[in-house]
Chain A
Amino acid sequence: MTASPITTWHTEAARVAAGIRLRVLEHVLANNGGYMSQACSSAELFAALYTRIMRLGPSIAPAVPLPFAGVPSATNPRAFTGAGYNGLKAPDLDRFIFSPAHYALVLYATLIETGRMAPEGLAQFNQDGSTVEMIGAEHSPGCEVTSGSLGQAISQAAGIALARKRRGETGRTWVMLTDGEFQEGQTWEAFEVLSAYKLDRVGVYVDVNGQQCDGRMADVLAIEPIADKLTAFGARVAVVDGHDLDALVAPTEMEPDGRPLVVLAYTDPCRGLEPLRARAPKLHYLRFASAAERIPYQQAFEAMAAGAKE
């Protein structure tokens, strides 16, 4: 290895981010639909988390995800979670709590790009009997809690972090959220508690893409200024360009100071995929209306794939 460690990290993170967009686009083209804009907005965020920010052990889960083993119950000892893809749970290691369950495809792509899941695992996406679900749940790769009802993961993470604090664990608990979740009352309840209990080993990364199912958040229900509100709730807030890897990482290098850390990563929901802009403001789910609409996406895919080979 001739490159400096920092250069190596940047190169790797950029490769992972490009790989996430490419893999998600490939999947969307093959399946005539998917959560595309979420990959465009959060690719660097996931890449930075998994390559630089989070201290995770290697995956202890099967490279090709196991089939669904049934819902948890007193009579089903075979039920499992997808936490193993984020490595062994250990006092000094970090944990990842994934909130926006409809970003699951982005998470799976991240696991593949970082060598935690086999590429062929994605073939099970949204297939009956599979854990690689469209809306991730706790059994899905990379997931540890069931979070599809938005706003619940941050509180569950607070419980996990509170438990870890009581045990004197040094590892941090990272939560990935989206800006839409700040419309939910529960998110603010959680921040009241995170602040009051000084859970400063909780770090929250928010993909602030300004989008929700019905369209632009500013049009659906405007909630800015998020940073001011969070600061008033006692959080330590960093506002960054969500496509700038250095900016994403920088806030995590500060020593915890008693406040929960929130990194508001402002992102472009069409980043790296220009044809997507034509669909604004409805970007939540991409399904091609016609063969003609598909063409520019196919062309974009081919250009991105060629770029990835260079």
Chain B
Amino acid sequence: MSVTALPGARASGLRIGLRAVLIGAVLVLAAMPVLNQLPQDHALHVSDFLVSVTGKWICYAILALSLDLAWGYAGILSLGHGAFFALGGYAMGMHLMRLIGPRGVYGHPVLPDFMVFLGYQELPWYWLGFDSFAFAMLMVLLVPGLVAFVLGWLCFRSRITGVYLSIITQAMTYALMLAFFRNDMGFGGNNGFTDFKELLGMPLSTTAARAALFYASLVALVGCYLLCRWITGTKYGRVLTAIRDAESRVRFLGYGVTRHKLFAFVLSAMMAGLAGALYVPQVGIINPSEFSPGNSIEAVVWVAVGGRGTLVGAVLGAFSVNGLKTWLTSTAPDLWLFVLGGLFVLVTLLLPRGLIGLVQGRGQGGPK
């Protein structure tokens, strides 16, 4: 069978330990909406706030995983992954808008409020089909996948790599942000979409709907993690690692590097889209600020802090950096951006393998 990366009994012990920790973490997360039902004064009660913020972090963790697949394994440092997240979010948002139906402020049977306000007579063609959940879910994956395919194909076949590729992905998310700000795009301009009512027949304001979205996100996170774990354990995963470390050498072995990178990039964009789609109904709004370059850069920081190229590290990074952010923005909001920047510098200098490197370093005595 496949060869383990960490030789020795100690490493396999570490592996089993890691698996136990992961299963434990999933169980703790799964318990949160249940503990939320306990009476307020119960010692184990989990507040509404904590449940809703954790639901968001789970979506961020999926985004971090997707970025880790592209960056940590295939070496594609995307500074525009937030765009794929936002596109998935917009696809979900369009579905939620269609479900509002005649319950909007203007009471139009089909058109969302912003379209009535902007004087639309009928639904633009690209809104057709979004009343169907299945179609919307398909778009959640297809739209980010298609954008990634076109961008990736153009860049990878021209052998644009490294910092140039990063700048292009950053420019892409910025361009999309400007485009979505425009009212005539038909996506609600700078207000975006909000005032969602229901999803799959469940009113979004209910506790049950919140718990369902929380669990759906958790299942998606576990599924994406297992998918990435599987992919990176196959020969394809090793091809990606090889491309990351010595791209031209892989070409001389006869691998079509463009195809391999494209496959990973598109898959990664789809995962990011899924994360965005789960995020939007939980926060109740999507607007063009989700495309802002800062969001994509934050996602890179999560992965770097957790430890890139490890998958677990990406998830850990998403939870810990966002936990810190939530705490700091309530206690010392002015400090957050300095802390974020400082964190990135410190981790790069002192912990090149991230938080995960700390744990592994102790178990393994370093890689050499």
Q: Do A and B bind each other?
A: no
A residues at B contact (CB < 8 Å): none
